[in-house]
Amino acid sequence: MARSSVYRVPLRRRREGKTDYRARKALIISGKPRLVARCSLKNITVQIIVAKPQGDEVLASAHSRELVNKYGWKAPTGNVPAAYLTGLLCGLKAKEKGVGEAVLDIGLAAPTKGARVFAALKGVLDAGLEVPCSEEKIVVERIEGKHIAAYGKILSSNPEVYSARFSKYLENKLSPEKIPEHFAKVKTSIINAFKKGGNKA
């Protein structure tokens, strides 16, 4: 709503609620690459991006579907453990390309403690990148999937509800109670792939 005779229409992405230009400007002025974490219901995307006059340039990128296709991940690709592993994968790719630091860009997502964007951040930190942050937003137990295992154990006494809630796990022959062990196995697989130098971004 115009409040004076001088009125400027907001930029399109601001009108659509897609970009906070004030926050973006602050991130770009920092001069560091941006760690961009975006989450949908089913997938996670983590990228290291630098702003250039001609447009953003992606230095490293990882998508949670890679966990399934390359590393044997059997759980859903949109949960907290998948977010961490996707962040770890992106961080290792970035390290291979000589990126050593970044600033976190969560877009318009709410900075809720234990959120998937902070799980992805933890993965990037564990890969060896320096990203300024407050670790109070990170809940390690959720990253490892312990909350999923505990919930599965509670529901195991009700087979009908159990099979409905964990249908995707059971389709892939993965017991939700075993997700912390599966998480550790896939994490080791990702780290070993980069140690051997056989993984290319």
199 pLDDT band, cuts 50/70/90, is low
148 belongs to a structural domain: no
On whether residue 134 sits in a domain, the answer given is: yes
Higher pLDDT residue, 27 or 164?
164
199 or 40, greater pLDDT: 40
Residue scoring higher pLDDT (197 or 146): 146
Q: Answer for the pair 155, 170: CB distance below 8 angstroms, yes or no.
A: no
- The domain containing residue 38 runs over which residues? 17-139+182-195
Kindly state whether residue 175 falls inside one of the protein's structural domains.
no
Q: What does the pLDDT look like over 114-147, one tens digit per residue? A: 999 999 999 999 999 999 988 899 999 899 999 9
Instruction: Record the pTM.
Output: 0.87
Instruction: Please give the structure tokens belonging to residue 8.
Output: 């400027």
For residue 92, give the CATH number of its domain: 3.30.420.100
Number of domains, the chain: 1
What pLDDT is attached to residue 108? 78
Asked if the structure places residue 110 within a domain, the reply is: yes
For the stretch 152-177, pLDDT in tens is 999 999 999 999 999 999 999 999 99
Quote the pLDDT of residue 15. 72
pLDDT at 161: 96
Looking at every residue in the chain, the average pLDDT score rounds to 90
- The confidence score (pLDDT) of residue 29 equals 78
104 occurs within a structural domain: yes
Which CA distances in Å does 194 have to 96, 98, 116, 160, 200?
Answer: 9, 14, 24, 41, 8
The answer to whether position 75 is within a domain reads yes
Give a yes or no: residue 97 inside a domain. Answer: yes
Q: Is 1 exposed, middle or buried (0-12, 13-18, 19+ CB in 10 A)?
A: exposed
Q: Is 172 a domain residue?
A: no
